[in-house]
């Protein structure tokens, strides 16, 4: 450092460059941790004893491909349509539905974790499907997801498989 005639001190080139390097390094570490946390986000679904309060509701319009088993959590769903009816198979329990009829998937517990050990959310949920007919060779339902805690949409979307087209309504 040197003094000039006005009494100001000049800083060397190393002072400013080091601060930028530290800030850049911290930002890089934060971004890496965020990406790893996002990539390790997982949902574990288990059975629960029914009867807990489920005050929060999210509604979707969903379509299921016919004849293909879809997994939501640990629930396996297959649908086949015939004329104005549909046969829904949920975990081996078959039921015939006509347009306007409901089918409820029993209450379950979902635990959302990241990095394998950090619990982000623990909630009970129940799914109700109302058959609305066929659209573009797919079975269309109004789906209501009731939860015991408010669940952000991006967590709910992790629970829903990409094979179904789910759009909030």
Tell me the pLDDT tens digit for each residue of 86-109. 999 999 999 999 999 999 988 888
pLDDT bucket at 55, cuts 50 / 70 / 90: very high
Looking at every residue in the chain, the average pLDDT score rounds to 85
Same domain membership, residue 51 and residue 4: no
For residues 153-158, give the mean pLDDT.
76
49 CB contacts (<8 Å, ≥6 apart)?
Answer: none
Same domain membership, residue 47 and residue 31: no
Same domain membership, residue 54 and residue 33: no
Q: With beta carbons less than 8 A apart as the criterion, state whether 63 and 138 touch.
A: yes
* Per-residue tokens: 149: 């805690």
pLDDT bucket at 10, cuts 50 / 70 / 90: low
161 CB contacts (<8 Å, ≥6 apart)?
Answer: 70, 71, 72
Q: With beta carbons less than 8 A apart as the criterion, state whether 151 and 123 touch.
A: yes
Q: Is the pLDDT score of 9 beyond 70?
A: no
Q: Is the pLDDT score of 2 beyond 70?
A: no
Share of the chain above pLDDT 90, in %: 40
CA dihedral 154→159→163→168, nearest 10 degrees, is -50
- At residue 142, the pLDDT reads 95
What pairing do the DSSP bridges indicate for beta strands 85-90 and 93-98? antiparallel
Q: Is the pLDDT score of 50 beyond 70?
A: no
Q: Which residue range is the domain that position 87 belongs to?
A: 42-168
C-alpha dist (Å) from residue 46 to 49, 55, 106, 112, 125? 10, 20, 11, 12, 10
How many domains, the chain?
Answer: 2
Q: Distance (Å, rounded) from C-alpha 162 to C-alpha 121?
A: 21
- At residue 36, the pLDDT reads 86
Q: Is the pLDDT score of 140 beyond 80?
A: yes
Return the minimum-mean-pLDDT range out of 62-71, 85-94, 152-161. Answer: 152-161
80 CB contacts (<8 Å, ≥6 apart)?
Answer: 66, 67, 86, 87
Same domain membership, residue 64 and residue 11: no
Same domain membership, residue 83 and residue 18: no
Q: Which helix (H) or strand (E) holds 139?
A: strand 138-147
Same domain membership, residue 142 and residue 70: yes
Using only C-alpha atoms, the chain has a radius of gyration, in whole angstroms, of: 26
pLDDT bucket at 63, cuts 50 / 70 / 90: very high
Q: With beta carbons less than 8 A apart as the criterion, state whether 124 and 52 touch.
A: yes
Same domain membership, residue 139 and residue 70: yes
Same domain membership, residue 76 and residue 102: yes
């Amino acid at each position: 450092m040197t003094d000039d005639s006005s009494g100001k001190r000049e800083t060397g080139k190393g002072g400013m460059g080091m601060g930028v390097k530290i800030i850049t390094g911290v930002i890089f570490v934060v971004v890496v941790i965020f990406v790893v946390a996002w990539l390790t986000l997982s949902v574990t679904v288990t059975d629960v004893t029914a009867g807990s309060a489920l005050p929060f509701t999210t509604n979707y319009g969903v379509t299921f491909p016919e004849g293909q088993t879809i997994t939501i959590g640990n629930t396996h769903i297959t649908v086949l349509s015939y004329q104005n009816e549909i046969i829904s198979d949920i975990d081996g329990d078959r039921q015939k539905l006509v347009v306007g009829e409901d089918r409820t998937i029993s209450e379950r517990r979902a635990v959302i974790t990241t990095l394998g050990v950090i619990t982000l959310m623990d909630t009970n949920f129940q799914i109700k499907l109302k058959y609305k007919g066929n659209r573009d060779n797919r079975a269309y339902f109004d789906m209501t997801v009731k939860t015991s805690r408010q669940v952000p949409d991006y967590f709910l979307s992790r629970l829903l498989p990409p094979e179904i087209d789910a759009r909030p309504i």
